[in-house]
Structure 1
Amino acid sequence: MAKARWLGTAASVGLLLSTGAGIATAQPATTAAPQVVPVGYAYPTTAVTPDGTKAYVGVTDDPRGTPAVKVVDTRTGGITARLTLSTAANSFVGALAMSPDGTRLYATVGAQHLVTIDTDSDTVAADALLPVQPHPDGYVDGSPSSLVVSPDGAGVYLAQNGPRQRWGFQPARVLAYSTATGTFTASVGVTDFSVGSIVLRPNGQDLYVTTGAGLVHLAATPTSLTTVRTLTAGHGASGGAVLSPDGSTLYGLGGYESDYLVDTETDTVTENFHFAPGNTDLRYPVVSPDGSRLYFISKSTVFVAPGGPTPPGYHYESVILSYDTEAHALVPAETVNPQKVELATGLALAPDGHTFYLGGNTYPGGVPGIVASLEIIEN
């Protein structure tokens, strides 16, 4: 995409977004105007079918903390199904990941469940308990942070934060799940207690996990996990990461002046820079299908003075920034300021590079659970 102009935005709080753990595969909606779809109470996570016709939104559906997945027809904006994933109070839907063929959706629920959804019938096909996470007395299980499915659909890989208690943490881990047997088959620990993004190269063998102690490179199969090396340069920082379409470059968000690039052929790290100087909190990276653009959300807090249409006080602000991967520079003309979403929770990009799906919550006084969708039209 050499040039683009932003034609319009439509806002809401909580629909179509991704976990930022890879390249989005959604097609743009076919309606002329972006859809505004209320999907629940707070903090949605989303995956989209490869043909782009359906979005699956994991959401806290009410103040009690009921985790559910809602199925959205992206052409009409209508919710066509609702699946309750747990009846336990204060549970939540964490990460979502779609199989490459679009027939299965995988969702983490709370700290102990991996749920499989059949996308043909939109029903729960399996609910697997995560293996016991060893920890001392007084600790609780860590929450899964991200999922990724292998290109052939045979394996699902899950990053889980370490057990925690008030005064301490235990090491995190990565799990392998075989879709053929419906069982967890391997586990490997990492040295830090926090894990962020998990991404898999197109070869289906090289797995990367961001952690507070660095970027961990694993050799992966559906039945085994082996640590290749930990790249301490670049400060994994448990931040977001995404691969270029061919898997040759990993883009990592590590915080102010600690973003990094990794040549995955050699595991060579370029570090000590920032994709967006002056924007300290960058999240949810996605890459355009041709690899020419890296998009991410810059999050900040702003103070609104009394007397305007917006309630006074401190507000979140989320802005979508565009980064030219060839020129290694921001493209200010392609910056988008969402109209309604303040606290964004994710970003997805259609494979033709024309449509964003943005989700989050509005504060204060907003209606929780609406999403912002944006359209990009090439010149």
Structure 2
Amino acid sequence: MTSDQLLIAPDTALPTLRGAVAGLPSYVPGRRGAGADIAALASNESHYEPLPAAAAAVAAAAGTMNRYPDSAAVELRERIARHLGVTAGEVAVGPGSVGVLQQIITGMCDAGDDVIFAWRSFEAYPILVELAGARPVRVPLDSAEGHDLDAMAAAVTDRTKVILLCTPNNPTGVPISHERIEAFLQSVRPDILVVIDEAYVEYAEAGSGPDSLALYRQYPNVCILRTFSKAYGLAGLRVGYAVAAPAIAEGLRRTALPFSVSALAQKAAIASLDTEGEMEERVAAVKQERARMAAQLEAQGWKLQASQGNFLWIRADERLQSTLVDAFDRAGILVRAYQGDGVRITVAAPDSNDRVLQLLEAHAA
């Protein structure tokens, strides 16, 4: 008997989900497609194959997959700590930065607490907040598609526990300068955790965003959030990390699901840090393509903000968004649409980028 053939009396009481879960929107990932002619530009993945050293580390560790990984991820945390000039006690890891963020929200928020973030920003923010029983406080972006820090500061109440700053912002690509974040931190209560989410930091031009480690050393309520999913190309292995004051980092490790970062992911992340120069060469190529695409699109008449991520953002109302997405779909190009706001396009290999430029030229104002 299959699940849809179960006989249940009409008056039978069944288990019910929590109200927060029943009304929770599903996270919408970038669409996937099969075929050599499909350009998958919806998920901000690296279009490069894994770094050779990372692939070799995974292959070497594959024979141990019958064993549990180190739940404390000691070797990986120590390697991240050396990379950043902090201690392993200040590092917590999880299944991607979104997994670590769930640990942060779970560890910091009780039911009814507030979490403030810009909107539009990373779509998982409100989902994780509501799942914890906390209240998401969305603050609209400013006219330049960036964080309105004054409005975010004004949104702080006695219930505020966490503030999320995404720089460069996903999906708009706009960074927050060091000076603006420092001024913001000076205005925020020290008992509020300010998370600087830097999933795309490797793609940012030097000086465009904050020196987050310097801010962390000056303001103990800062938490840095990063991932190996983007520039390091380990999206399929799920490993990210946070840097926070030792007591907070210890709390994040306690709220983590046991064994949440696989042994293969830990080995691949360590190998990636050990061969970081190769990653930086790939990032430089993406940044060059990003600049080329932005220049051509602006010449076509598109108005863009200077993205510091591995993607470009086109602000579009419902009608234009529908037109563009339909055109991209017909052309075999998968992009990420945000209803009523715009379209995000991952920067990939030059041939895929050329297809995007050609299509958008035909729809330029």
Same fold (TM over 0.5): no
- Under TM normalisation by the shorter chain, which class is it? under 0.3
TM-score (norm 1): 0.26
**Which protein, 1 or 2, shows the higher relative CO under an 8 Å CA cutoff with sep ≥ 6?**
2
- Comparing both structures, which one devotes a greater share of its residues to strand? 1
Structure with greater helix percent: 2
Greater gyration radius: 2
Alignment TM-score, normalising by the size of structure 2: 0.27
